[in-house]
Structure 1
Amino acid sequence: MILSSVLQAIGLFIATNIDDIIVLSLFFARGAGQRGTTARILAGQYLGFAAILGAAVLVTVGAGAFLPPEAIPYFGLIPLGLGLWAAWQLWRGDDDDDDDEAKVEGKNVAVWTVAGVTFANGGDNIGVYVPVFLSVGTAGVVAYCIVFLALVAVLVGVAKFVATRRPIAEALERWEHILFPIVLIGLGLLILISGGAFGL
């Protein structure tokens, strides 16, 4: 029974978070060469995912007024805003990577940025987790949360592995400054449109 619940939790985590590998890989590319990048990305991912779990648990125990379902699509404003800011910096030349030192050192990746994008990208996770949590009881919810939190570190490790493979790392180094805002803007628009925010 316990093994079955653990396997189900692993499957659910993979299904709802596999897309994070792309975004996290871009964060790793953005912070390449900066001391503490991995720790900041890990902390941000944990903060964002803990907020997702917290929201799912609150909704599960009946606090729907705290996070009404119609509010979830508006989380798309977070990556959209961050992506537009990154695009603005690129357009102004603040994100210019022509300097060799900039290529070696990368850019500072903020914990709150990773956390915000993780939380916004996990809005759909809340909708998936709530019915599962309702069906497994309190002990099951605790077990799922423990498994999920353990797998966050694995997810970050996989993203770092992907981002540091030579062909991928070279491609990310060349295109990260363009891909980063495009991915965040696209993610934000996808969340807003698929959720019907602003009547879209």
Structure 2
Amino acid sequence: MILFISAIILSISTSIDYLLLLVILFSKAKNRGDKQHIYLGQLLASFILIVSSFIISQFANLLPSEWMIGLLGIFPIFLGVRILFESEDDVQISDKTIGVLSVLLLSLASGADNLGIFSPYFTTLTMPEFIVTAVIILLGTTVICFIADAFGSLSLISEFVEKYERIILPLVFVLLGVYILIEFSTINYLLAFFH
């Protein structure tokens, strides 16, 4: 019972930070295929983070330096800047942000801190406990996607995002990337390196 409770808490605490990003992505979804891409990208990212964390927990010396993990912040910054400077006549923003690979990379970047949370926790688990925990985390990810889908499908939210997408999407992506670079001290490391 304690395993279930701790796995649920772990799932909620590590998934909640995806909520705003997912709401924005779901509000941009034009069809069922777009929504499936979001679900798939998010679940794949969670799966990759879980498996990576498990491997790291088994071989603790494999954990890369924090600043290296922070380099993942470059992807959302790049995507945000690309969207910001894209002309209205270019490919639709939703086409660039709803693909499985884009959702996967955004979710991996924003969930990179989960490596530092999952890995130590996984060292305390037996293999059956790890499997149960992984399933609960993936179910929690699915629930977060359902919640984000419900909010993103509200006409008020989707209309707001549609109206201000040229500002909202780049702003959210760039701020997410900068946050990741700061959170993992990547900016400090790079400044010291080039100083």
TM-score, length basis structure 2:
0.87
2:66–2:184 contact (8 Å) kept in structure 1: no
**Counterpart in 1 of 2:34?**
37
Structure 2: which 5+ residue stretches go unaligned?
none
2:15–2:140 contact (8 Å) kept in structure 1: no
Q: Aligned to 2:127, which of 117, 138, 150?
A: 138
TM-score, length basis structure 1:
0.85
- The reply to whether residue 190 of structure 1 matches residue 187 of structure 2 is no
Aligned counterparts of 1:177 and 1:30: Cα–Cα separation in 2: 12
Q: Supply the RMSD in Å over aligned alpha carbons.
A: 2.0
Q: Aligned to 1:24, which of 19, 22, 25?
A: 22
Q: Describe the SS at the equivalent of 1:18.
A: helix
Deviations 1:5-42 (A, max 9, x none): 112111111111112111011111222x2341111111
**Counterpart in 1 of 2:9?**
11
Q: Aligned to 1:120, which of 109, 112, 119?
A: 109
The 5 A counterparts of 1:156-171 are: 156-171=145-160
Q: Describe the SS at the equivalent of 1:36.
A: helix
1:44–1:113 contact (8 Å) kept in structure 2: yes
Q: Describe the SS at the equivalent of 1:76.
A: helix
- The reply to whether residue 107 of structure 1 matches residue 114 of structure 2 is no
**Counterpart in 2 of 1:99?**
none
- Say which is worse superposed, 164-173 or 61-70, in terms of deviation: 61-70
Q: Describe the SS at the equivalent of 1:15.
A: helix
Identity of aligned residues (%): 26
Q: Which amino acid aligns with 1:15?
A: S
Structure 1: which 5+ residue stretches go unaligned?
97-101
- Count residues in correspondence: 187
